[in-house]
A and B are shown apart, each in its own frame.
Chain A
Amino acid sequence: MKKTVFVGVLALAGMSASVAAAGLLDEVKTRGKLNCGVATGVPGFAAPDANGEWQGFDVAVCRAVAAAVLDDPTAVEFVPTTGKTRFTALASGEIDMLARNTTWTFSRDVDLKFDFVGVNYYDGQGFLVRKDLGVSSAKELDGATICIQTGTTTELNLADFFRINNMSYEPVPIETNAEGQQQYLAGACDSYTTDASGLAATRATFEDAANHVILPEIISKEPLGPLVRHGDNEWADVVRWTLNALIAAEELGVTSANVAELASAPGNNPEINRLLGTEGTLGEMLGLPADWAVKALSVAGNYGEIFEKNIGETTPIGLARGLNAQWTSGGLLYAPPFR
């Protein structure tokens, strides 16, 4: 008698299982929504505003993918994840992609079975200190109390850095950026360490920003990028090339202002034509309509525009392009050719 119940439940489970077997791209299209994992709150990168609309640099990547796939930048369900829950959320299929300033590392790519589709922000771990502390280099931080955000690569980098330099320190683990800021400002730690972009964003909100400096040492490489699960290459391609389209568009001079005009008729630059679908069949190869990149670009413009709007020098966060400039202007952004 009990068995019948279980057979029934099993059969029910089997039904739902068969739905999930199709490719993620088709699944997202039939669902009509993209589930995108973001941070619960990092200034400039992802935070909900008073109307519950998510805003930020990472959020813009989700919106671009949603626009390319579903032709609707608002067809995104933002799933807030913490440093702890983000990988399981992605591995269990709860989210289709993760855009939550996540560092591309060997073990995450290989051991945790994810595919990093590219890098949307080149970052590195830095130290924020008060000017009156009189410290000019991270090597002078021997014996200091240092606030670190847990659940990230930063705590491992920090342990390595101090061990290599034979220095001691007192780690103060904290859960969220807001707590780190609070402890640092009250002087409960001498230094706050996280990705340099986060430090700049945090520093920008201080009442006395000028009294704080970010030390010159960047102790780690932190290529942050969106990632998807292993094994579904079609979907990985869609996310990868949407990101590349944003980067390539900046290099090619396609902006939100002129994208409609450029897409209306083939111009004289074949690469722009291929990107915008007026020439060739790139969209079809991805399983998307020909004007997929046009849609992605019309949301918030190219990489440069997204950067300027959310975290650029005109915003309170005020990050310089630095490593994140196009390769033509001395940065590391280098989108593979669209052909």
Chain B
Amino acid sequence: MTSLTDPPKESFRLGMLIYDTRYRSLTIQVVALIGFMIFAAWLINNTLYNLAEQGKNVAFGFLSDPAGYDINQRLLDYNSQSTHWRAAFIGLLNTLLVACMGCITATIIGVFVGVLRLSNNWLIARLMTVYVELFRNVPVLLWIVFTMAIMIETLPAPSDFRGENPEASMVLFDTVAITNRGVYIPEALFSNGLGDLPILPDRENPSCQPGEDGTLGDDCGVFQISLDLLLIVVVFGASLFASGLIRKRADRIQNETGDRPNTWYLRVGVVLLPTIAVLAVLGFHLGYPELKGFNFQGGTHLRNSLIALWLALSLYTAAFIAEIVRAGIMAISKGQTEAAAALGLRPNRIMNLVILPQALRVIIPPLISNYLNLTKNSSLAIAVGYMDITGTLGGITMNQTGRELECVLMLMLVYLAISLSISAVMNWYNERVKLVER
């Protein structure tokens, strides 16, 4: 604000802290800060007093003690003698796994349903409306429990695969077994594998001493990375890069001469051949699940707790995403569709090339908050016994050690960190695709 005359010089009075707008905001802030600090101090004081009364203290040492319980789905090595730290970390990985899988499938289903809801096929549009309303208006906890119950009750038990005339049989040429304990799919195996690379190995640990065949123990390092996988990823990445170079060259030639050289066979070869060669050298083959003893052995076991949680979260979130997609598409003015049609584009190309790219800008922000919701809802894993971080750190660890304060605090911080990183990444993406307006 500018004024023609200087304000009259006044000496500072205490009342000015309140009545002078120049100081008032400062006063309010200081008071708010002091109030907040007193409140926080009051909470902490109460907590310490109450804990002392119950004979407890605040310490995180218990996390280094052996956990004592087993976890069925572990992406890294873990046994009941591992520490609570490790158990929490395994749980965190499980949370991230189901959240990632859920976000991907929810997006795919959501986009499909959202587009189909606008379909001119009356039946399909109605069916999709019923799906969306059904899932949006019933609590997600019920859907999770429902899905689990359906899987348990309707799918065959492993024992049904046994005997002369089994009631159930494996599908896809006997490679996949769908049971009510989960789905067993073939796993990748390497007969000339390179072994594992321990990350952050501890030289004192006896399992880090090379054994007779030169391999390291399973416990060596914080976790181990398969060298085979690493090699394949590196080779495949390099091939993709080479293929990109070929495309660039084709672009350049097309710009110069107007003729685009035919390079697709070259690119397919560059992408596939080195990877196939590496796989052959490593002795790649599939390990099929087989019914041995009580369970199927071999293959990768996708447990039904994972599948139920994944499906339920995907379908529930997809119902919300479908609505967002529909709203996003409807937000694009009809003129765009008509202009594209006038250019002679077919309906599916109109959708892919004109409508969706524009709708995406409207869709992304609410999509982010739905990804966040899905991640947070994955904490309901506890209802189907999926061992995510709420099940390990906030469940068995908390219950067995009685360290509620420490466990809940850590649990909240972990979720907060996940949420903040998702929104950070998504906001960055949102900034990038934002329409630059003049």
CA distance A145 to B398 in the complex (A): 25
Q: Assess the A186–B293 pair: CB atoms within 8 A.
A: no
24 A-B residue pairings within 8 Å (CB atoms): A1-B31, A2-B38, A6-B38, A10-B42, A133-B294, A142-B293, A145-B181, A150-B399, A155-B69, A156-B68, A156-B69, A158-B70, A170-B181, A171-B69, A173-B72, A175-B382, A186-B153, A186-B157, A187-B158, A187-B180, A188-B152, A188-B157, A188-B181, A189-B181
Q: Can you name the residue of chain A whose Cβ is closest to the Cβ of B304?
A: A188
A339 at the interface (CB under 8 A from B): no
Main secondary structure of the interface of A (DSSP, over half): mixed
Return the chain B residue nearest A87 by Cβ: B402
Chain B: number of interface residues, binned into ranges = 35 or more
The listed residue (A107, A112, A186) touching B180 by CB distance below 8 A is A186
Chain B residue nearest to A229 (CB atoms) is: B54
- Interface pair B387/A173, CB less than 8 Å apart: yes
Assuming the contacts A144-B295, A175-B382, asked whether A2 and B31 have C-beta atoms less than 8 A apart, the reply is yes
A89 to chain B, nearest CB (A): 11
A155 to B69, CA, bound (A): 6
- Please, which residue of chain A has its CB at the minimum distance from the CB of B297? A143
B305 interface residue per 8 A CB criterion? yes
Q: Number of residues in A with C-beta < 8 Å to the partner?
A: 46
B400 interface hit (Cβ, 8 Å): yes
- Picked from A10, A84, A144, the residue with its CB within 8 Å of the CB of B294 is A144
Does A208 interact with chain B (Cβ within 8 Å)? no
Contacts of B160 in A (CB 8 A): 187
Question: In B52-90, which residues have CB < 8 Å from any A CB?
Answer: 54-56, 68-72, 79-81
The residues of A with any CB-CB pair to B shorter than 8 Å are 1-3, 6, 10, 83-84, 87-88, 91, 107, 111-113, 132-133, 141-145, 150-151, 155-156, 158-160, 162-163, 169-175, 179, 182-183, 186-190, 230
| Distance in Å: Cβ of A177 to nearest Cβ of chain B | 13
Q: How far is the CA of A175 from the CA of B145 in the complex (A)?
A: 11
- Which of B31, B56, B396 has the most chain A CB atoms inside 10 A of its CB? B396
The 5 closest A-B pairs by CB, nearest first: A187-B157, A159-B80, A173-B385, A2-B35, A144-B294
Question: Which of chain A's residues has its CB closest to B398's CB?
Answer: A84
B90 to A: closest C-beta gap in Å: 13
Q: Judging by beta carbons under 8 Å apart, are B294 and A156 in contact?
A: no
Q: Which residues of B contact A87 (CB under 8 A)?
A: 402
Q: Nearest A residue to B151 by beta-carbon distance?
A: A188
Q: Does B391 contact A (CB under 8 A)?
A: yes
Q: Chain A residues near B305 (CB, 8 Å)?
A: 172
- Given A172-B305, A183-B152, does the pair A151, B180 have CB atoms closer than 8 Å? no
Residues of A within 8 A of B153 (CB): 182, 186
Residues of B within 8 A of A171 (CB): 69-72
Identify A187's interface contact among B54, B159, B402, CB under 8 A. B159
Contact of A172 among B31, B72, B157 (CB under 8 A): B72
Note all chain B residues with C-beta closer than 8 A to A142. 293
Q: CB distance A174 to B69 under 8 Å?
A: no
Is the Cβ of B152 less than 8 Å from the Cβ of A113?
no
0/1 string, B27-44, CB within 8 A of A gives 1: 000010011001100100
The answer on a CB contact under 8 Å between B396 and A151 is yes
Contact with A along B358-391 (1 / 0, CB 8 A): 0000000000000000000000001101010001
CB-CB under 8 A from B383, the residues of chain A are 175
B404 part of interface (Cβ distance < 8 Å)? yes
Judging by beta carbons under 8 Å apart, are B293 and A143 in contact? yes
Q: Which residue of A lies closest to B156 (CB)?
A: A187
Given contacts A173-B396, A187-B157, 16 further A-B contacts (CB under 8 A): A2-B34, A2-B38, A88-B404, A91-B54, A113-B54, A133-B294, A143-B292, A159-B68, A170-B181, A170-B295, A171-B69, A171-B71, A173-B72, A187-B158, A187-B160, A188-B152
Are B385's CB and A172's CB within 8 A? yes
Residues of chain A lying within 8 A (CB to CB) of residue B68: 156, 159-160
Decide: B385 and A175 in contact? CB cutoff 8 A.
yes
